[in-house]
Amino acid sequence: MHRYISQIFLILVLMGIIFSGISVLKCIEYKPSFLLHKGVVICKMQYVTAKDLYQTILQSFINNFIKQPFHYLPSIKNIIHKQWPDDLKSIGTKSVPVACWNNSSMLDKNGITFYINSKNIINKESLPMLYGPQNNEKEVLINYNHMKELLKICNIFPKIISMSEWHSWYFITNNEIKVILGRNNIDNKLQIFIKLYPTLMKEANMENKYIEYIDLRYNSGAAVHWLSRHNKSVN
């Protein structure tokens, strides 16, 4: 009987050691907060200044413990590597802005939003301004790229595109013409605009006036609102 008790006790001890080891390994692998002795951040700082990077890193630590991952750094995507026992390496790849979104953030080429200090963007004026409801970033970006390709034949491009909550669209070209598309048959309306554009521009130059907007929310044709050189509205 004593022998069996000893064997049972030994099995329980071994099971305790095994479970303790597993718990320690999980803690090492997944624990979000750990004592840091040394940290290395590797990235190209095109859109983030060294000062911004330093301040954000400081905000990530409390009492020498990392409390949030570095992927909260603006415009930087990170791969985090823990180096045993207490080192950390973060390899950063930059998110490149291709458009401004709702005047509050940027979009990358995949339609993913990220935040960045606009002062760090050298060519901000050349970026298109996209507007739309939350969670529709990718759809608006895809339509922007599509419209941009179609309008190349007219030697113009959309600098502003907006989609409402009801999926009603309009865009403003780089020569300040507002084009109202509405909700349906967007491609057909774009083709109507492309056909009308040369004639309208010729008339604008001959009569010394501007196109303020073109409304394509009709079954056929369009309504054009003109402005004279003296900013007087004309029909």
Same domain, 132 and 68: no
Domain end marker among 94, 117, 136: 94
Find the DSSP H helices in the chain: 2-30, 50-59, 137-151, 186-206
Would residue 181 count as lying in a domain? yes
Instruction: Please say if the pLDDT value at position 71 is more than 50.
Output: no
| Residue from 105, 106, 110, 164 nearest 133 by CA | 164
Q: What is the pLDDT of residue 125?
A: 77
Radius of gyration of the chain, Cα coordinates, nearest whole angstrom: 29
Domain end call among 94, 118, 152: 94
- pTM beyond cutoff 0.85: no
Share of the chain above pLDDT 90, in %: 44
The first and second tokens of residue 117, run together, are: 């200090």
pLDDT of residue 56: 57
Total domain count, the chain = 2
Whether 68 is in a domain gets the answer yes
In this structure, the answer to whether residues 88 and 157 fall within a common structural domain is: no
Q: What is the mean pLDDT of the chain?
A: 75
Domain contains 117: no
Residues 21-37 pLDDT 10s: 455 445 444 445 555 55
Q: Using one digit for the tens of pLDDT, what is the confidence trace for 152-199?
A: 999 999 999 999 999 999 999 999 999 999 999 999 999 999 999 999
CA distance 18 to 24: 10
Residue pair 53/73 in contact (Cβ under 8 Å)? The answer is yes
84/177 same-domain check: no
Domain limits at 145? Answer: 128-234
Mean pLDDT across the stretch 52-76? 53
**Cα 193 to Cα 67, 79, 186, distances in angstroms:** 54, 46, 11
Distance CA 15, CA 20 (A): 8
C-alpha atoms less than 13 angstroms from C-alpha of 98 in its C-beta half-sphere: 15
Of 193 and 71, the one with more pLDDT: 193
Residue 82 shares a structural domain with residue 180: no
